Amino acid sequence: MDANVVVMGSESVGKSALTVRLLTRRFIGEYGDIESIYSHNFETDGRDITLNIWDIYEDLSVETSLSEKKIQWADGFILVYSICDRASFNIVSKLIQTIKSTKDYLNTDKVPIVIVGNKRDLHHRRTVSSEEGRLLALKADCLFYEVSAAENYHSVLMVFHGLVDRIKDTKLAL
Ligand code: GDP
Ligand code: MG
């Protein structure tokens, strides 16, 4: 199976850190402003999956830059905020609405979306509680994980596995 995934969210929440962690298992620390589509293979339930991951670099506070093309391209979405940055959390709610109104599925509730609260290692600077993240995910029928791209490779892997499972479900249902 092939699946297209976009990683979206405010600047500096760790989109590139999450993507690079999946691809290389490493946390480098600085990622610059490159925007790329990466290809990554892995196996789940004995099936080979090829993920095309679009690590987006754009200023999402500018409403017009939200590209419909990216949303249409994607089979699934990883929406990232930082647990230390409330504004980035608010942007995730907006993104969910934009995605659901742009995607032309018959049942838009089925759009595969994972909400990720990143930088869990910085808990002493937390401004968004786990409950808020979980509640948003519950309301929007999305998956939710709190992770640390810096400290926990396994948590990052769970995000991508969770999304792939959701994508498999929707592809089977179509
Ligand atoms: P992007 O703009 O969303 O792609 O964010 P980056 O991946 O470039 O990360 C922005 C900054 O946050 C960089 O300095 C990263 O080192 C840092 N960062 C990313 N993820 C984490 C994390 O889980 N914990 C901590 N402490 N810093 C992180
Ligand atoms: Mg980036």
* Per-residue pLDDT band at 33 (split at 50, 70, 90): confident
Structure tokens given for 58: 């754009």
pLDDT given at position 105? 62
DSSP 64: G
Determine the residue type at 113: I
Higher-pLDDT residue of 6, 103? 6
Residue nearest to atom 9 of ligand 1 (CA): 14
Residue nearest to atom 25 of ligand 1 (CA): 119
pLDDT digits (tens, 9 = 90+) for 125-157: 999 999 999 999 999 999 999 999 999 999 999
- Parallel, antiparallel, or unpaired for β 113-118 and 36-44? unpaired
Rg (CA), the chain: 15
pLDDT given at position 45? 80
pTM (global) more than 0.90: yes
Give me the chain's average pLDDT, please: 90
For 58, 73, 76, 117, 159, the CA distances from 70, given in Å and listed in that order, are 12, 5, 11, 22, 20
Higher-pLDDT residue of 34, 127? 127
Residue nearest to atom 22 of ligand 1 (CA): 119
pLDDT digits (tens, 9 = 90+) for 87-121: 999 999 999 998 998 886 655 568 999 999 999 99
Determine the residue type at 7: V
Separation of CA 151 and ligand 1 centre (Å): 11
Lowest mean pLDDT among 54-68, 71-85, 96-110, 158-172: 54-68
Return the ligand number nearest the Cα of 126: 1
Select from 44, 45, 49, 111 the least CA-distant residue to 74.
Answer: 111
* Per-residue pLDDT band at 174 (split at 50, 70, 90): low
Q: Which of 8, 16, 156 to mutate to test the pocket of ligand 1 (most atoms within 8 A of CB)?
A: 16
Residue 8 has pLDDT above 70, yes or no: yes
For 42, 92, 115, 123, 155, the CA distances from 147, given in Å and listed in that order, are 20, 16, 10, 11, 5
d(CA 63, CA 61): 6
pLDDT given at position 38? 95
Residues 75-86: what's their mean pLDDT? 97
Q: Which of 23, 60, 88, 119 to mutate to test the pocket of ligand 1 (most atoms within 8 A of CB)?
A: 119
Pocket of ligand 1 (CB under 6 A): 9, 11-17, 29-31, 118-119, 121-122, 148-150
Closest atom, ligand 1, to C-alpha of 17? 7
